[in-house]
Structure 1
Amino acid sequence: MFKSSLLMDLIRGMKYLHNHDIAHGRLKSRNCVVDGRFVLKVTDYGYNDILIAQGIDNDHEKPEELLWTAPELLRSSSRRRKGTFAGDVYSFAIIVQEVISRSAPFCSLDMPPKEIISKVKEPPPLCRPVVSLDEAPLDVIQVMKQGWSEEPDKRPSFEEIFKQFKNITKGKKTNIIDSMLRMLEQYSSNLEDLIRERTEELEVERQKTDNLVAQMLPRSVAQALKTGKPVKPEHFNEVTLYFSDIVGFTTISALSDPIEVVDLLNDLYTCFDAIIGLHDVYKVETIGDAYMVASGVPNRNGKRHAAEMANMSLDILHCIGTFKMRHMPELRVRIRIGLHSGPVVAGVVGLTMPRYCLFGDTVNTASRMESTGLPYRIHINQSTVDVLNSLKMGYKIQSRGMTELKGKGIENTYWLVGREDFDKPLPIPPDTQGGSNHGIGLDEIPPDRRQKFLERQKKMG
């Protein structure tokens, strides 16, 4: 683009001179100057007229000054003083070679200027610069070779050269500044599109990050932490908590490889996570095989917290009834579920990996409800029963009787066994068909893993 712009300016300048019947006579790259706007301008035209008017002889010019001079002018000093249109075209062709190869005239010949001038002046053989076809478009090289033709009549005029160059550039503006401005405009437009595209990508990534943080912390808490605001502990008058545990998880872990345990928990909790997304609940945390969920915190929902938790527990119990381990599909996975309603205090603990934690006696009691429960059973306390009964949504509750809760004494507890409009099948609790309440019986262990279990028990004493 730079080369094309400079040559086009030179062609326009020489076309203007020839149209005004002025032959330059001394055209060479040394009198082509470039201004601050990168526009090429032709100088020294009319210089020969001054020399002729002053009677100054210029026959003794140095050979390096004559490299741009046409052969017919080298042979006649009188014609060289006046200059010719065809001679200017030859000089232009030599300048084209300089621009294309970005080197001095006849540089490829590796001869002194005096010898070059002698060969140009007295052919054969014809002496011209050598230009590789790879250095410029073929059309430009053809114009250049036509311009330095040995016969002046076969050289094109600058009017013809101008038309040929317009065809080569396909009519595009070739001024460097115009091209730079056009490039800047295009770059600015592309930059706006790029910024818009990057902003959209950033927004997508930000939403992903926000969603990920929202899964780890409540949205209100996450927003406060992002803005640097302190998160004050908050008291909730009444919430319902859910705890669940896998029966015989220690035995299952002993019978499984570490990766199999990870796959088991991942499959199980992925199933649970899908269920809790259908209810107004908040997953507090998982520790090993323990799963803790709350309703009514961090978003208060009136008395609905007990119903949301009861509905979620029934859905989870239905899900666990059909769940199978990948590595031991014949061994059924049983869980104990415990619910309790009461007041809690919630707050963020820690600066590194901050956790949203619940504190209070309600948390301890809910944990005890789970640990004293039975497999495939939803164990609930009197406080949760009272809230469910007040909602009058048709929950089916059976009395378990007096149950000792560690650290709490003996209390009357209940089983949640269904809801009037809940028609999903639930697994049969093993306490009605035999089996262990807090472990896995030897006869339940798959034969191929039973020996491994017995050897482990023998080592433990």
Structure 2
Amino acid sequence: MGPTCFNNFMRFANLTSEIKALQFNILTGYPYDHPSMIDMVTRSPQNLAENLVAVLKGFEWAQVGVALCKECYSDDDLSSEKYFETVENVFDQSHVAVKEILKLEKGARRENISEQIEVFEASARVILLMLGDNLNDYVEYLEAMALRNWTNEEYTPVLVLSKNVLNGLDVPWKSDPSLLRLFDKTIIIYNNVYTRTKTSQFTTKYSFSTNEETVISLQMYEAYYVLAHYLNTAITSDFSLFNYTQPEKAIASMNISGPFESIYINTAGQRLAGYDVAVVDKNQTSFDYILHLGTVLTDKNCAQLACLHFELNSTLSSFYEAPKDVPLCGFHGEICDQTGVIYAILVVLGVVALFVIAYIAFRKVITNSKGRSISNPWLIPFTEIHFIDLTNTDGSQHMSIQSLQRNADEKARLQSLARTKQIATVDQSYMLVDKFVMRDKIRFDRYDANMLYQMKSHLQHDNLNGFGGLSFDKASHIFIIWSQCFRGSLHDHIFTKERQRGTSNNFEGAFLRDILKGLEYLHASALNYHGNLTLHNCLLDSHWIVKLSGFGVNRLLVKWKSSGQIFTEDHTPVIKSEELHYFDPAIKKIWKNMTGTKADNGLITPVFGRKCDMYSFGVILHEVIFKKKFVENFIDSPKDLGEDDSVLIDDENDVQASKFPLPIVIPEGIEVHNDLVKMLENCFGANRPDVPLARKITDTVLKMSGSLVDLMIKNLTAYTQGLSETVAIRTAELTAETEKNDQLLMELLPPSIATDLKLGIRVDAKTYKQATILYSDIVGFTSLCSESEPIEVVTLLQGMYQRFDLIISQQGGYKMETIGDAYCVAAGLPKENGHLHVEIICMIALLQRESLHNFEIPHRPGQYLNCRWGFNTGEVFSGVIGQRAPRYACFGEAVALASKMESNGKEDRIQMTLASQQLLDDFFPRFIVSSRGGITIDGYGHLLTYWLEGDDDKTQYQVAREEIKDRFEKLNKNGDSSPSTSAPNSAEISSDGRPKDKMTLAKEKVLAERKREEERMLQEQTIHEALGDAEEQVELAQVLVDDDEDHGKNGLDDLRSTLSSPTLEDEDDGEEEEVGKPIGNDARINSQASTIPET
């Protein structure tokens, strides 16, 4: 922030540019543009020049003269008139011609000035005067004009005062009325950017010794505001704004509201702020004889993103005409030598133009730029109101705009509420609209119109809500429009659970202080009193500041209802029963007795109205302090009074609402100061306190610790914690559902594939050189289904597949699909595992077969299922099919041949191809395999296949089987009942006293069973050996008895019988083989083809 003197300007400017830092100039204007510097001075040479150009173009002046006295500003270190060269350059760029520049000396006498100003006679009629900071500095020049008999109508002096006018213009004719004649018709352009009304809060809070200190402090405050806005936007919205090479362009693109008014920075880093324009008119009735012509306005609709323009006040265009910069006949009379024909044409055109101008001027007088009446700004055209569907929002009758999610429980109530309350936008601002039905056209008398004008135009305060106005549609409805605050009403904040937070007493004090400040302003205004003070009408804006709303409206509603001009559309009372307890019973009695005529005007005096406001404040104080309803909730219901009528007040509800609790009962757990209780009782008594006294008591008793910002932070922190709890609950629910979805997805797809799909990674089809595919199918399933109920079939398949899935999960296979009773399993994909895939499939097939031996058909006790299994090893390719319901599938001849192995297999047998058998023989010889021989398969010819009989490694197989059994029993136990809490037996405890793990238990169990099996087999072997010895002895005795001849004949017959009978294997296969003929189709699948050698 700086610099503090001119000598340091270029040094700091070059330094900040070198280190890429922002510099804000807040002291005095300089005639230089420099990168990375923002000039916040309102009287800088650039801003002064832009204001002059805007005024000159507004008056359509293209050429001027200048009278300049640089020495007159020698005592003003902050002046910019000494840099007139910069102003002259801006004039040249804007095509404003400076015909003459007259440089005067400080203290020059009027006689000398009279001789010097002769230079303007032949070149200029509009003279810009820069002779000092005060109007007294221009007296000598104006007297010099009088000496030359120049009138202000012929030569227009424009007095330029760039110094900030903080306390208004100091006019010299106050002390010397004779000077008014000299200043008459002079135009004054003065710097009125920091008006008292805009900066009152700042200047009241901080005191300064001089106006220069005040201006510098205001400019410094605004500079910090712009910097904060720039950094906040860069951090939260657009990180690219950290571009220190051209920061002025980044800041120029922003909309900066500013602490006092909107701040505009152009692309050169210059702050543009409009000056005021006035004319001195001795015929004015005002005390200072100054007629305000308008203010130079600022907008962003230009290439520099900030530019100034000036338009004459539309109300003055009918009686004030700006003088010309060129005489009617020119400076030398060269324009007036036209012929009579031209004069005639000009007269005709002048008459036509006069009618056009008169019509336009008349329209401008009665309407503003938006087509609204200037005399009645509170009258809003209905076409400018854009309604929002209220049933799609959430909240009370004063809803928060931030809440847009509909609550199903309140849907019916909101639909009823929409008959009288609506949310709308007017001029791109949210508004709350009350709707009533008109029986007759409403006419406004002078008192009503003046009150509405005051409410719309003059009642401006930080603690008052903006009154939008009234509007009428073509369907006999009247709409009362108020600004809608961001956070709803104070009633919502206190009594709505969704918004209620633990508000501290200090913050309650801030709320009450805001209410009293707004009430104090209303009591001192032309409105005299509020008349409709309720918690519903205490709105909270985005900064947690309370704004009073609804003031003055009840007077009109009661008047119109008493005369029968309005009623509610849903036939409920005009004054809602939930707000009845806020009003003094005395004023409600007067309302009920009103007739809607002029005789009602004196019934409610300003003093009585202010006392009724204090009654309402007492009710609000009771509800805010105790957070308890003053009376019970009342619900309005339509009254049967005919189609076009409704009551003003529900008398039944009013009887209960008018009972106020005296003495005051303080709820348990709440501590209230005695002075506050006393004031609360006085609000309901005859000796009611006024607003200043109530404010003094509340400020003392409910004294705030820290600033209002600290209290706002506390409240926002509590609000955030409440939202955090809600978010945590919703997040936990979402996490649980996500886990379920992930678990289901992992069942449908392989985990690695599912993870890639979740991350958005494309899963391409892949070829696997070697994988093993297993198919199984239930034998006789079709006939079983025809004889069973559907639910029985589903139960059967669920039980069987539950066992199969456990086996696959344990062994590391992947279930490809199930179609009815058909079951397909793959191993070796999507993650390749060398040759382990064939071992996995063998274990799966064996364990599935054994599990079926123990699986009884649920609806057929004593019957068991039988399946066929078939698998094959070979090259396959796989990928994900589909998007809405993706499915992982594999294809290839190896898959088709695996299916053939199952379909051509036998009941309760596991068939495999030669490729699978060779892998088992090479890498896993522990599996017991037997040859089936050659079989004919459609499409493949004659293939050699094998049966998988079992696993020779009993220990590993038994461990897997026991683990499957334990997991299935645990699954059933968790599904049927709670887990057992019985103590473990001694066999489950290790030597060190700790429980044994499942694998240890399973191994010990398998070893015990294996030992018992070996003992059984040893016993059987002993029995077989004894039987064999006995049979040999019998056969030997028989041979000795038979004679030789009979023995030879019988032996020959036995040999022939043996040679002619088929083998046992041929009987099983039912097929005959040709000796020496190759069987198979080497062209289709070489790895599966084979030959049977000759015997």
Note if 1:335 corresponds to 2:867.
yes
Query: Does the Cα contact within 8 Å between 2:618 and 2:684 map onto a contact in 1?
Result: no
Counterpart residue number, 2:819: 287
Determine which of 867, 876, 884 is the counterpart of 1:344.
876
Cα deviation, residue 295, structure 1: 0.3
Task: Tell whether the 8 Å contact from 2:927 to 2:948 is kept in structure 1 after alignment.
Answer: yes
Residue 287 of structure 1: how far off its partner (Å): 1.1
Alignment partner, residue 262 of structure 1 = 794
2:608 pairs, out of 45, 56, 67, with 67
Paired residue for 2:1074? none
User: Which digits, 9 at most, give the CA deviation of each residue in 1:238-259, with x for residues without a partner?
Assistant: 1111100000001101101222
1:430-458 per-position Cα deviation (integer Å, ceiling 9, x unaligned): xx9xxx99xxxxxxxxxxxxxxxxxxxxx
Contact 2:618 / 2:683 at 8 angstroms: preserved in 1?
A: no
Aligned AA (2:931): S
Matched, 1:138 2:665: yes
Amino acid of the structure 2 residue aligned with 1:326: P
1:325 aligns with 2:868: no
Alpha-carbon distance, 1:297 to partner: 1.1
Q: Secondary structure at the match of 1:336?
A: strand
Equivalent residue for 2:886? 354
Q: How many matched pairs?
A: 337
Query: Secondary structure of 2:810's match?
Result: coil
Label 1:7 to 1:100 Cα distance change in 2 as closer, same or farther (>3 A).
Answer: farther
Deviations 1:397-432 (A, max 9, x none): 22223333333222332221221223469xxxxxx9
* Structure 1 residues 307 and 165: alpha-carbon distance in aligned structure 2, compared to 1, 3 A threshold: same
Deviates more, 1:175-184 or 1:185-194: 175-184
C-alpha distance in 2 between matches for 1:185 and 1:135: 37
CA distance in 2, matches of 1:281, 1:273: 9
Letter in 2 for 1:363: V
What code does the residue aligned with 2:680 have? Answer: M
Superposed displacement of residue 95, structure 1: 4.8
Match for residue 9 of structure 1? 513
Distance in 2 separating the partners of 1:8 and 1:372 = 91
Contact 1:9 1:39 survives alignment (8 Å): no
Could you tell me which residue of structure 1 aligns to residue 716 of structure 2?
184
* d(CA) in 1 for partners of 2:662, 2:922: 92
Contact (CA 8 Å) 1:11, 1:162: kept in 2 or not? no
Contact 1:101 1:131 in 2 (8 A): no
Corresponding position of 1:384: 916
SS at match of 2:811: coil
1:240 matched to 2:772: yes
> Is the aligned partner of 1:367 residue 2:899?
yes
Match of 1:81 in 2: none
What amino acid does structure 1 have at the position aligned with 2:856? K
Is the contact between residue 100 and residue 136 of structure 1 (CA under 8 Å) also seen in structure 2? Answer: no
Instruction: Assess, with a 3 A threshold, how the Cα gap between structure 1 residues 206 and 2 changes in structure 2: closer, same or farther.
Output: closer
SS of the aligned residue for 2:898 comes to helix
The worse-fitting range, judged by mean Cα deviation, of 408-417 and 306-315 is 408-417
Cα pair distance change 1:194/1:145, threshold 3 Å: closer
Change (3 A) 1:402 1:8: closer
1:165-209 superposed Cα distances (whole Å, 9 cap, x missing partner):
65xxxx887998766543322222333454455445434433332
Residue 406 of structure 1, aligned match among 903, 920, 938: 938
- Tell me the residue number matched to 1:418: 950
Q: Does structure 1 residue 272 correspond to structure 2 residue 804?
A: yes
Report which stretch shifted further, 314-323 or 374-383.
Answer: 374-383
1:367 maps to a residue whose letter is: S
> Aligned-pair distance for 1:340?
1.2
How far apart are residue 391 of structure 1 and its match? Answer: 2.2
Q: What secondary structure is seen at the aligned counterpart in 2 of 1:138? A: coil
Q: CA deviation at 1:272?
A: 0.9
Q: Which amino acid aligns with 1:64?
A: T
Do the aligned residues in 1 keep the contact of 2:909 with 2:948 (CA within 8 Å)?
A: yes
Change (3 A) 1:378 1:144: same
Unaligned runs of at least 5 residues, structure 2: 1-488, 492-507, 518-527, 534-538, 549-601, 621-656, 667-675, 963-1063, 1070-1095
Kindly tell me: are residues 145 and 227 of structure 1, through their superposed partners in 2, closer, same or farther at Cα, counting changes over 3 Å?
closer
The alignment's C-alpha RMSD in Å is 4.5
- 1:147 CA displacement: 6.2
Q: Structure 1 residues 315, 144: closer, same or farther in 2, change over 3 A?
A: same
Q: Deviations over 1:243-289 (max 9, x none)?
A: 00000001101101222222221221122111111012111111111
The alignment partner of 2:605 has SS state of helix
CA distance in 2, matches of 1:366, 1:376: 16
Contact kept? 2:663, 2:681, Cα under 8 Å: no
Counterpart of 2:832 in structure 1 is 300
Shift of 1:392: 3.6
Structure 2 residue identity aligned to 1:256: S
Segments of 5+ residues of structure 1 without an aligned counterpart are 14-27, 41-60, 70-90, 103-129, 426-431, 438-461
Counterpart Cα distance in 2 of 1:302 and 1:387? 11
Q: Distance in 1 between matches of 2:902 and 2:763?
A: 30
Over 3 Å counting, the alpha-carbon distance change for 1:241 and 1:138 in structure 2 is: same
| Per-residue deviation, 1:396 | 1.6
Is the contact made by 1:101 and 1:135 (CA closer than 8 Å) also made in structure 2? Answer: no
Check 1:267–1:173 CA distance in 2 against 1; reply closer, same or farther (3 A cut): farther
Please say if 1:97 is aligned against 2:606. Answer: no
CA contact (8 A) 1:244 1:370 kept: yes
Change (3 A) 1:65 1:195: closer
Q: Deviations over 1:125-159 (max 9, x none)?
A: xxxxx95347997347775335676799xxxx989
* Residue from 373, 396, 411 that aligns with 2:928: 396
CA distance in 2, matches of 1:261, 1:11: 75
1:144 alignment partner AA: L
Paired residue type of 1:233: A
- Distance (Å, rounded) in 2 between the aligned partners of 1:159 and 1:180: 20
Q: Which amino acid aligns with 1:67?
A: F
User: Does the CA-based 8 Å contact 2:772-2:871 persist in structure 1?
Assistant: yes
Q: Supply the AA of the counterpart residue of 1:99.
A: F
- Look up the equivalent residue of 2:754 and give its one-letter code: A
Contact 2:839–2:924 (8 Å) recurs in 1: no
Structure 1 residue matching 2:833: 3-state secondary structure: coil
| TM value normalised by structure 1 | 0.60
Q: Which has the higher contact order (CA 8 A, sep 6+)?
A: 1
Q: Compared with structure 1, are the counterparts of its residues 390 and 98 closer, same or farther at alpha carbon in structure 2 (3 Å cutoff)?
A: same
SS in structure 2 at match of 1:373: coil
Q: 1:7 to 1:398 in 2, by over 3 A?
A: closer
Alignment of 1:207-222 (within 5 A): 207-222=739-754
Determine the C-alpha separation between the residues in 1 that align with 2:884 and 2:695.
Answer: 78
Aligned to 1:443: none
Distance in 2 separating the partners of 1:7 and 1:402: 96
CA distance 1:141–1:131, shift in 2 (3 Å): farther
